Structure 1
């Protein structure tokens, strides 16, 4: 039984929303961030990068306090205003490929996260959880929703379908040529329909935002201890989420680029691969795998198809069937000596929405020696791994839609 609540969002005014909205801070290069802030005083980047005002790199608690100050200034200048009553928010994104994503922005329960009603499929790093928890405790808001997915639900779909026939509260197009729309669901009847519909859902899955949700849960535990009147309904017991049906979720692969062959010659490397794969040299043909357990490899100017020998490899659980895990267990760790996928500097990743050209180009430019192209995981695989309490390797999925920061803000 999922507890998904409406909330009173703080939002940019209609005339400034396109100027405020930004991608996640980490997705910009330093040059891109500075360029945007040089010419756009309304960008949300001014809030999350407060050192820009003083031309100084600021970190830790000092940065968190300045983030809070910049945010309050945006409110004082009425760049941000708050809705008067709790609402659900229908949010729709149409990307440049004309794919459409529609869902609900709402407040999800940290208790549901703790009780496994909201399930995870990725490991998180404890130091990142704690760092972001302290950030949240100081700034007092969520500005980028966690992406959650739920089984397709006719009742929720009906509310969304009817609402998007009305004039949108927000409608703007980004420089990435994605068009964003937002509608308020504020009538009491529709609010109760949505609340009951989400309550009827047994399990919701985190698609993107594992560290943000984990940090929100830690924050709730901290604040609960210090609140003698804790009821479980305080705003800190929830975190802002964008909930979309499973049919709207798009999962792409992350391809692997490796800097060397771990001291092996090309021929020695191919012989070791032969234990696990049927190998076919495809020359300059740009081969991309068409089904699970098939891999593409680019090495020394040529593509190879690698087909897993299923008589050799054992599928003991849902994780062992995931191609990213197969590649790690058969190649990356035993042959190439890559133990930790998070910290080893010999491996980098390129998401599959960019196709295989970046993989080929970076190897041709001698930045890397070998690259592997994977077949993307499915939603059902992601769910099965989460249901079995297992965790995917890092960079197993590149998930869309990608959300913007600063369009709806949740205070606690």
Structure 2
């Protein structure tokens, strides 16, 4: 069963929500965050990327940054920019990006169930990124950004969510990027009980995005549990903030690759080695793959469509059969010598939201020599691999729209 728990969330006052709510801390660098906060001092980036209020040479993982995050969080409360709900509540978070709509439940989910594998992961995490979130949470006392979870769609939950949205929203705005964010609060005990009971029939939840947030919640729980001689398991630190969407609403975009060089190969030698596993055909314009097992490639101002040879993919398992794995295992590693894409500095990843034009720009700049566009990973592939306990390659999925931080904040102590 999946445990979901209502909580007394902190939310921005409606009139300021559009200014406060921010993109996640990990989709931008410090320079971008400084620019945003210089134009909008109410941005929640002053909490999630508090280095914006410190000298540019500050170590972003130093204690002074986390302390500044705490100070900025407390300022938002003191100024009544963020206020806490009186009653434990669930929240319904609706997002609309052009014609795509997704509706999720904002809830506190169980750290124990993450540890037990009821909340399933599909990616490895980096210890340094985990520790950054641990330090941020322990210093501020709050979970500022939600994990992005999914579950296999359930008609009962869908009906309860739709009923909750018949009330007036507590927050509704369209951000600068054109994405509309609408939030509903569900405080009535009968309604929260019905939602909690409905999720008890959901056997597992899946992490779509937010592996480091989830892993950090476990470490925070362990730290606070050790320091609490009267630990009961009911404390807020035993839960972490999440938004949970039905799998049918998930929008996964392509996650593309650019590589700095051709591993010392001439263009002719590169194409010769590529032909071991792929066929290719020159195209007149950008190639955005329309089906699995095909790829776009931009090299020397020219686009090509690649197709993996059938014999290469015969008998591959769920992970090895992913398009990201095929490209890595049969081209990036053997031809371009990209051994570990998590650490290799010669490869860079570009979310599909930026379009094919960004791939062209990066290669045409001379900073990169070749770009590859991919067909998006399917949510069913992600769930199947998670069910098997498998690990997907890094940068396999790019979810849109992104969840805004500060729509709801969860206090852990």
State TM-score, norm by structure 2: 0.94
Q: Secondary structure at the match of 2:305?
A: strand
Identify which range, 55-64 or 151-160, moves more after superposition. Answer: 55-64
Q: Superposition pairs for residues 212-361 of structure 1, below 5 Å?
A: 212-282=213-283, 284-361=284-361
Residues 33, 45 of structure 1: 8 Å contact kept: yes
- Cα root mean square deviation, aligned: 1.7
2: distance between equivalents of 1:281 and 1:34? 42
Aligned length: 410
Residues 143, 407 of structure 1: 8 Å contact kept: no
> Structure 1's 41 and 313: CA in aligned 2 closer, same or farther, altered over 3 A?
closer
1: distance between equivalents of 2:145 and 2:234? 21
2: distance between equivalents of 1:4 and 1:188? 14
> Structure 1's 310 and 132: CA in aligned 2 closer, same or farther, altered over 3 A?
same
Q: Which residue of 1 aligns with 2:401?
A: 401
Q: Which residue of 2 aligns with 1:207?
A: 208
Residues 291, 375 of structure 1: 8 Å contact kept: yes
1: distance between equivalents of 2:48 and 2:22? 10
Q: State the Cα distance separating 1:395 from its structure 2 match.
A: 1.2
Q: Which residue of 2 aligns with 1:82?
A: 84
1: distance between equivalents of 2:405 and 2:312? 46
Q: Which residue of 2 aligns with 1:72?
A: 74
2: distance between equivalents of 1:104 and 1:368? 41
Deviation readout 1:167-200 (Å, 9 max, x if unpaired): 1111111111111111111111111110011111
Deviation readout 1:299-351 (Å, 9 max, x if unpaired): 22322222212213454421011111111111111110111212222111222
Q: Which residue of 1 aligns with 2:378?
A: 378
Q: Which residue of 1 aligns with 2:109?
A: 108
Q: Secondary structure at the match of 2:312?
A: coil
Q: Superposition pairs for residues 126-165 of structure 1, below 5 Å?
A: 126-165=127-166
2: distance between equivalents of 1:28 and 1:278? 36
Residues 37, 46 of structure 1: 8 Å contact kept: yes
Residues 30, 49 of structure 2: 8 Å contact kept: no
> Structure 1's 272 and 115: CA in aligned 2 closer, same or farther, altered over 3 A?
same
Q: Which runs of 5+ in 2 are unaligned?
A: none
Q: Secondary structure at the match of 2:15?
A: coil
Q: Which residue of 1 aligns with 2:390?
A: 390
Q: State the Cα distance separating 1:352 from its structure 2 match.
A: 1.8
2: distance between equivalents of 1:66 and 1:308? 51
2: distance between equivalents of 1:361 and 1:50? 31
Q: Secondary structure at the match of 1:321?
A: coil
2: distance between equivalents of 1:289 and 1:130? 37
- Is 1:124 the counterpart of 2:125? The answer is yes
Q: State the Cα distance separating 1:290 from its structure 2 match.
A: 1.8
Q: State the Cα distance separating 1:40 from its structure 2 match.
A: 3.0
2: distance between equivalents of 1:128 and 1:49? 14
> Structure 1's 54 and 206: CA in aligned 2 closer, same or farther, altered over 3 A?
closer
Q: Secondary structure at the match of 1:144?
A: coil
Q: Which residue of 2 aligns with 1:11?
A: 11
Q: Secondary structure at the match of 2:38?
A: helix
Q: State the Cα distance separating 1:365 from its structure 2 match.
A: 3.1
